[in-house]
Amino acid sequence: MNNELVIVLDFGGQYNQLIARRVRECGVYCEVRSSKTPIDELKKLEPKGIIFTGGPNSVYDEASPHIGKEIFELGIPILGICYGAQLVAYTLGGKVETCSVSEYGKTETFYDKSCILFGAVKDLPDSDTSWMSHTDFVAQVPEGFRITAHTKNCPAAAFENKERRIYAVQFHPEVNHTAHGVEMLDSFVKNVCGCKGDWNMKNYAESVIGQIREKVGNGRALLALSGGVDSSVACALMAKAVGDRLTCVFVDHGFMRKNEGDEVEAAFKDWDLNFVRVDASERFLSKLEGVSDPETKRKTIGEEFIRVFEQEAKKIGAVDFLVQGTIYPDVIESGAGDAAVIKSHHNVGGLPDFVDFKEIIEPLRMLFKDEVRKLGTELGLPDYLVWRQPFPGPGLAIRIIGEITREKLDILRDADLIFREEIANAHLDRDINQYFAVLTDMRSVGVMGDFRTYDYTLALRGVTTSDFMTADFARIPYEVLEKVSIRIVNEVGHINRVCYDITSKPPATIEWE
């Protein structure tokens, strides 16, 4: 790709990938790189700007991640956020100290609108809400810098050296709670870095299709097709790139939602491609017998997927490439660079050490979910595929807490179908970005028809999100939840209690396992 590039240097903060997501919203391509990336490597990338992220450490601790002064001599615009702002001050001779009063959450912030970050924001008032999360603060800005924002307890909530194009903010503009935060980032990448904003899915599709053609050449590729939006978009890209040298293999592992295997097959029956459906339900279920640990589930499923694909590739003949619909959040949560492993996605951290393919192609690896949907529309995919409810590769196996059995799978399929039906009936299916049921491993006492019951508790989960990196619980009307609960308890055996999950991400993840 030849797009304008902004680099986010990762210092370990929880919102690092969200910064990249927000920059892309501004039409500028952005990648996250480790703070340990050598300066020469950064120079070769020729970024238009560099953003330092937040992080949990204190800059005056020797064990904390730091950066050399030479990065400030490259002439590349720099924006420091939170820890990144403190790092700018500390490295260039300012003072960073522990706050007498820490700031967390929504904070009234007073802006100097002569600073281009704030002055270019339309209708920004003199004071507005920003999102703070810090126990240290910049007590003295470096020589040549001036303060451009403050709060009641933070004298340097933002500061700048306009001549050197170095800017810093103590708050988090990438978080929705900061009013006009994305517009501030837009001002940095457009007005400071000089980016025109050439990142869009039309250009991306053209670029990636060309790269795939060059890589695959006269070879053959096997695509792991689940029927979800990610693998469907990957399928459309690959079909345009290599045509009939692509074979799509849909592995029915037995953990699909009710009737979903048949629905996936029907969705692709009219496509001009080689489609193979493999019933591997017995195989997967036997591999997971007695397994209750979620990481073990994911990794077992990930390895078994590969083994099935290897077997199918041998039936087809010489297949060099395995194609997956891996997207950026999968990579991040599976642990990338300095990031912690949140959970191993079956197609990333869950892969076995040995894979019998020449190479794995992941054309969506650097895209967020909403970008994948935009790309799908750009490629001409129908709405029912582009807006299909997200479904994890391991399927219901990670929506059953504890050991998986056929009985539990049947219970969950029926309950999940009712939940999805009622959400659709209430015309909420496009407002809630992901919704599903989870069969917990907890049983409790109930009463039905004057008889005591001791059955499972079912949890319902619904979230709203723009990027699946952060999410809030969906405010589903009580009358809808009530109808779902009544139907499930009356129509599905072995469930006598229904709960609704009202936890955001973070601290929770969207899936339970």
What CA–CA distance (Å, rounded) separates 383 from 39? Answer: 44
Q: Which helix or strand (DSSP H or E) is residue 158 part of?
A: strand 158-161
Positive or negative, the CA dihedral 106, 110, 116, 121 is positive
Cα 500 from chain centroid? 23
φ, ψ dihedrals at 488, nearest 5°: -65, -45
Structure tokens at 394: 């391991």
What is the b/e burial string over 35-44, where b = at least 16 CB atoms within 10 angstroms of the residue's CB? Answer: beeeeeebee
- The amino acid at 71: I
- Known catalytic residue at 172: yes
φ, ψ dihedrals at 225, nearest 5°: -105, 120
Structure tokens at 114: 């002569």
What CA–CA distance (Å, rounded) separates 245 from 243? Answer: 6
Q: How many CB atoms lie within 10 A of CB 320?
A: 18
Structure tokens at 166: 């170095």
Name residue 32's beta-bridge partners: 8
Instruction: Yes or no: say if 172 and 180 are a contact pair by the CB < 8 Å rule.
Output: no
Active-site residue, selected from the candidate residues 25, 103, 160, 174: 174
Alpha-carbon dihedral of residues 183, 184, 189, 195, nearest 10 degrees? 40
Helix (H, G, I), strand (E, B) or coil at 338: coil
Q: What is the CA radius of gyration of the chain?
A: 25
Active-site residue, selected from the candidate residues 26, 30, 82, 235: 82
Q: Which helix or strand (DSSP H or E) is residue 424 part of?
A: helix 406-425
Active site residues: 82, 172, 174
